[in-house]
Chain A
Amino acid sequence: MLALKSQWILSFGVALAISPAAVMAETDDATEECEACAFDWEPRGYVEAGVLWLEDDEPDFTNYRGFDRDGLFLNGAIDVIERNEDGTYWSLQGQNLGLGSRSAAIRGGRQGAVDYFLDYQELNHDLYDSTKTVFSGVGSERLELPANWVRGDTTKDLTRLDVALRNIDIELERKTLATGLRFFQGENWDYNFQYTADERDGTRLMGGSFLLRSVILPEPVDDITHRFDLSVGYLAKLWQLRLAYHGSFYDNDNESLTWDNPFTVPGDAPRGRSAAAPDNSFNRLMLSGAFRPTRWLSGSGHIAVGRLEQDESFIPATINPDIGPVGLPRQNLDAEVNTLNARLRLTGNATRRLTLKAEGFFDERDNDTPVDNYRQVDTDLFLAELRENRPYSFEKSGGELSADYRLTSNTDLSTGYGIERSEFTFQEVDATDTDLYFGELRTRPGERVELRLRLGWEDRDIDGDYDPLEAVPPENPLLRKFNLADRDRREIRIAGNYYASEQLSFGLNSVYADDDYHNSAIGLTEARDRMVTLDASWSPGQNLNAYVYFTRQNIESDIAGSESFGRPDWFAQHDDTINTFGGGVQAREIIPHLELGVDLAYTRSRGNISVDSRTSDQKFPQLKADRVSTRIYGEYSVSDRWSYRLDYWLEHYEQEDFFIDGVAPDTTDNVLTTGRVSPDYVIHAAGISARYRF
């Protein structure tokens, strides 16, 4: 199906690629004589072919790398370009041509007159290997149990489970084809057109429930997004304008997913059905511009109006034959969301030392979707209450005034103040107001040292009351959703560089951020993010570069809850610490004709979750993920044209994740899971190739 959909796109792109001459404008070829200038008007580039070997097709390793199995792969690459004295050019590039992450690009045109391109890219997203399912029809919209399946109340009662389970891979493939054309008219006008088709095919996991029973399903993915971008720009000496259209059209080949119910449940629904993501479209017109009347004053801005629409036909409220048809207030949602985004920035040098900046923004999501009451059929089992849909709108506006002051020739001070107001519909609060302040010092106390210190404050307050939305059962009135709650944010950033010599430098970058939800008794009450990065690089010459780095990040969250529908009676802390060490060396011609490179990274992640309740204070097993990645390559040139290249990858990855480890398909009584396990592997991969340059 992918190939069929892409055919007309490809034809259009090729047609575009071979027909630019008609719109090429003549340019003046006159130039000053230059005897020493080594202009290169011949085709040049390289062609590479070789073999890759992969020890094992572990998805965590093959993910995005393009391997779809283990063993040997033929691989190739090409990069050819020709430029001519009159400005015409063409190029052809291809990478990973034998792998599932292949990409290719054709470009051409005439500089300053017309440019065109045709790009193609594949991307494999390998999610899980050896995932287990009892269903047939994987990849389709209908998942069926084996004919002799015996339903049961819990997973322990599924007597045919063991014989029915089989392994499947959960993976997605994305193919993107883009083509475009840009041409210039005179010195002022330019016109752009770009079309992109983005196709996905594969499966991912989703839960399908029947009240308190559920089964993890392989959900099919088969969709395409068409994107069109057209723009026209006018460039004058002191100002410019651009009018741009963006259209995005999402087309899902799947309407729904229907699956047999493996359980016996009250109401006895034989099958369940969930809705797939609906087709939708987004159209946007944007006008952007900039002006620079003097060297000391400039401004730029944009205003964009858009409309998001969705009118996919509803699927039935239930497919349970015992309930029968359930009336719907309409056959499709006829959803319409209008968006308005505007930004304006003015920058001016008030004096030689002082630069002022003023910024303003307005973002609106105006949801005009009709509101109706929909009778709910709870998980295809029983009729429940009428529910009114809540089309969500918001309006966010604000601005910032800031100033940069050059204190000395080596020291700059910045300060700023901003405001933001956000208004919402169908939310617990009507609006929030935020005040932002920051101060920054940038200094070079010596020839070899750079320092930067930034302090930031944010104070977000609810305007009015926090009124929980009506719900059955009700929401705890002490809960504050963190994206709407009162919040104090503090941020400190310290960064610096020390240049020990022209060859050796050291860097420091650190961030401390604290979000305090001071009026939230239940929900997220505090979040902290601390990060420090140290790095060093050494470049004793054009032929040798080396670098090392270390990063430590700690992310903590405090969450409070209440089982008694009152004051908080349990408190959880979520704490992730990630340390990353890395380094690498690139050396060219240290050994004659040889280029060598090594890149190494070790990431050590630890996640700690603890829960302190009235009865206990318990810690979960630690979440662990250790990844050691090594890449070594060498390229030996036997002549000006021929070289041979050797690549080697070694990756060790080990994960411990109590959410999935030890959880067999029937471990939980009421959810039939997929038996996923944490990856734990050491994988070697190698490649050898020959490259011909011309």
Chain B
Amino acid sequence: MIRTGDRKQSYRSRLILAGVIVLVGWFAGGIDGMAQDQGDSSTLEYTAEGADACLACHDENGEVPVMDIFKTPHAVPGDARTPFAQHQCESCHGPGAEHGKRLRFNQERPPIPAFGDNALWSKQKQNGICLDCHQRDQRMHWDGGTHERQDVACMDCHQVHVSEDPVTVARREAEVCSDCHRDVQVESHQMSSHPMRFGDMACSDCHQPHGSLNTAMLKEPTLNDSCYSCHADKRGPFLWEHAPVADDCTNCHSPHGSNHPALLKQRPPLLCQSCHSRIGHPSISRTPDDLPGGRASAFLLGGSCLNCHSKVHGSNHPSGANLSR
């Protein structure tokens, strides 16, 4: 089955080898040179009063109301892992003594190290604060993932100082995702779509926004595995397989929405004729002459090809080779 000796393969093998050598060399040379950057926050000090110092200025009437954090899992001193079992506000915002100090007349207040206006620390380092605690499961794949490389910060999607973070509520999650992925969200208004519009299905039912090694940041290792999670009847394996189905559901379907029934990318018969042109009816062009008033052809109207070949996802009938049983 495997063909070898192709010229293109040989060329690419050498290119990959060269890439790996360069990569290793760069890593080896680069790591030592950057070690000095690790201690850039060592001079900062924590406040003596902890959250009491912060809450003296930041309360429910501020620009960003904060008091609802005391209704959240972050504010549970009984859980030794949480911010309020440690340095309280400064567990996440960084040592705040400098930011909270008494100011001289006309002196500008120094920024808080993390998660504030003009924060001292980089977005990457601020993400690291969250990931220090939230690093299990799929978050292990955050580094190098699409969102990480596009400089998406945890705070771009999450809200910490509210009693319920909207993006963690399935029915509201899509509202947050659509801030950046509006083009995907609007597809749910098309003729056929998954139940995204009503909140009965969330983006994270299929996607893993915290990083994934899989195509399109999917949770499952393959795209088809994602679809089979809810559509296990399409999984087979069938006696008579329709290979494009087992290969990739998106060969025929647009998962976010479509102008055609069943999330199809095109209407049959043209969708089917993209891959089938056998002698006989599959090769015949269907024209407006086939509409009611003309030939009223069953090869076009209703379900078109599916009027007979209804088992397009595969058939387990011994006589179902042409996917009509």
- Interface CB pairs A-B, < 8 A, 8: A310-B236, A351-B33, A358-B19, A424-B1, A509-B183, A627-B189, A659-B267, A659-B302
**C-alpha spacing A390/B186, complex, angstroms:** 40
With A318-B319, A392-B241 given, is the CB distance from A300 to B23 under 8 Å? no
Closest CB pairs A-B (n = 3): A31-B77, A350-B26, A347-B144
- In the complex, per-residue mask of B238-260: 1 if CB is within 8 Å of any chain A CB, else 0: 11110110111001000000011
- Contacting residues, chain B, for A474 (C-beta < 8 A): 278-279
Assess whether B277 is in contact with A522, with CB atoms less than 8 Å apart.
Answer: yes
With A275-B317, A289-B140 given, is the CB distance from A404 to B149 under 8 Å? yes
Q: Which of A214, A392, A417 contacts B308 (CB 8 A)?
A: A214
Assess whether B316 is in contact with A312, with CB atoms less than 8 Å apart.
Answer: yes
For residue A108, give the distance in angstroms from its CB to the closest CB of chain B. Answer: 13
Q: Is B216 an interface residue (CB 8 A)?
A: no
Q: Is B101 an interface residue (CB 8 A)?
A: no
With A37-B70, A86-B78 given, is the CB distance from A333 to B303 under 8 Å? no
- In the complex, per-residue mask of B41-82: 1 if CB is within 8 Å of any chain A CB, else 0: 000000000111001100000011101001101011111111
- In the complex, per-residue mask of A350-381: 1 if CB is within 8 Å of any chain B CB, else 0: 11101011110101010101000011111110
For residue A76, give the distance in angstroms from its CB to the closest CB of chain B. Answer: 15
Q: How many residues of A sit at the interface, in one of the four size bands?
A: 35 or more
- Contacting residues, chain B, for A49 (C-beta < 8 A): none
Which stretch from A14-22, A138-146, A290-298, A634-642 is at the chain B interface?
A290-298
Assess whether B319 is in contact with A317, with CB atoms less than 8 Å apart.
Answer: yes
Assess whether A37 is in contact with B84, with CB atoms less than 8 Å apart.
Answer: yes
Closest residue to A404 on the B side, CB-wise? Answer: B149
With A32-B88, A64-B198, A111-B76 given, is the CB distance from A476 to B277 under 8 Å? yes
Assess whether A473 is in contact with B278, with CB atoms less than 8 Å apart.
Answer: yes
For residue B244, give the distance in angstroms from its CB to the closest CB of chain A. Answer: 5
- Contacting residues, chain A, for B182 (C-beta < 8 A): 507, 509, 533, 535, 549, 551
**C-alpha spacing A341/B218, complex, angstroms:** 14
**C-alpha spacing A297/B137, complex, angstroms:** 19
Closest residue to A241 on the B side, CB-wise? Answer: B140
Q: Is A179 an interface residue (CB 8 A)?
A: no
The residue in A288, A483, A524, A669 that gathers the most chain B C-beta atoms within 10 A of its C-beta is A483
- Contacting residues, chain B, for A553 (C-beta < 8 A): 183
Q: Is B235 an interface residue (CB 8 A)?
A: yes
Q: Is A148 an interface residue (CB 8 A)?
A: no
Q: Is A455 an interface residue (CB 8 A)?
A: no
With A345-B144, A533-B182 given, is the CB distance from A335 to B301 under 8 Å? no
For residue B111, give the distance in angstroms from its CB to the closest CB of chain A. Answer: 16
For residue A311, give the distance in angstroms from its CB to the closest CB of chain B. Answer: 10
Assess whether A350 is in contact with B29, with CB atoms less than 8 Å apart.
Answer: yes
- Contacting residues, chain B, for A623 (C-beta < 8 A): 259, 267
Assess whether A278 is in contact with B80, with CB atoms less than 8 Å apart.
Answer: no
Q: Is A582 an interface residue (CB 8 A)?
A: yes
**C-alpha spacing A655/B191, complex, angstroms:** 9
Q: Is A162 an interface residue (CB 8 A)?
A: no
Task: Show the binding face of B for A, using Cβ within 8 Å.
Answer: 1-3, 6, 8-9, 12, 15-16, 19-20, 23, 26-27, 29-31, 33-35, 37-38, 50-52, 55-56, 63-65, 67, 70-71, 73, 75-82, 84-85, 88, 135-137, 140-141, 143-144, 149-151, 171, 182-183, 186, 189-191, 195, 197-198, 200, 213-214, 221-222, 228-230, 232-241, 243-244, 246-248, 251, 259-260, 265-267, 270, 273-280, 283-289, 291-292, 296-298, 300-304, 306-311, 313, 315-322, 324-325
Assess whether B274 is in contact with A475, with CB atoms less than 8 Å apart.
Answer: no
Which stretch from A1-9, A50-58, A599-607 is at the chain B interface?
A599-607
**C-alpha spacing A208/B315, complex, angstroms:** 13
With A44-B71, A356-B26, A668-B302 given, is the CB distance from A314 to B266 under 8 Å? no
Assess whether A662 is in contact with B292, with CB atoms less than 8 Å apart.
Answer: yes
- Contacting residues, chain B, for A419 (C-beta < 8 A): 12, 16
Assess whether B233 is in contact with A250, with CB atoms less than 8 Å apart.
Answer: yes
With A389-B240, A461-B8, A618-B287 given, is the CB distance from A286 to B320 under 8 Å? no
**C-alpha spacing A206/B308, complex, angstroms:** 8
- Contacting residues, chain B, for A690 (C-beta < 8 A): none
For residue A85, give the distance in angstroms from its CB to the closest CB of chain B. Answer: 5
Known A433-B9, A561-B283; 5 more pairs at CB < 8 Å: A37-B84, A39-B77, A274-B317, A326-B318, A363-B222
The residue in B80, B238, B311 that gathers the most chain A C-beta atoms within 10 A of its C-beta is B238
Q: Which of B84, B235, B277, B302 contacts A671 (CB 8 A)?
A: B302
- Contacting residues, chain B, for A301 (C-beta < 8 A): 213
With A563-B283, A660-B301 given, is the CB distance from A233 to B136 under 8 Å? yes
Closest residue to A341 on the B side, CB-wise? Answer: B221
**C-alpha spacing A670/B38, complex, angstroms:** 76
Which stretch from A163-171, A260-268, A571-579, A681-689 is at the chain B interface?
A571-579
- Contacting residues, chain A, for B233 (C-beta < 8 A): 223, 250, 252, 277
Q: Which of B19, B55, B241 contacts A391 (CB 8 A)?
A: B241
Closest residue to A93 on the B side, CB-wise? Answer: B169
Assess whether A433 is in contact with B186, with CB atoms less than 8 Å apart.
Answer: no
**C-alpha spacing A408/B284, complex, angstroms:** 59
Assess whether B34 is in contact with A352, with CB atoms less than 8 Å apart.
Answer: yes
With A32-B50, A561-B277, A673-B302 given, is the CB distance from A391 to B237 under 8 Å? yes
Assess whether B316 is in contact with A314, with CB atoms less than 8 Å apart.
Answer: yes
Assess whether B137 is in contact with A242, with CB atoms less than 8 Å apart.
Answer: yes
- Contacting residues, chain B, for A605 (C-beta < 8 A): 190-191, 259
For residue B72, give the distance in angstroms from its CB to the closest CB of chain A. Answer: 8
With A473-B278, A582-B186, A669-B296 given, is the CB distance from A39 to B70 under 8 Å? yes
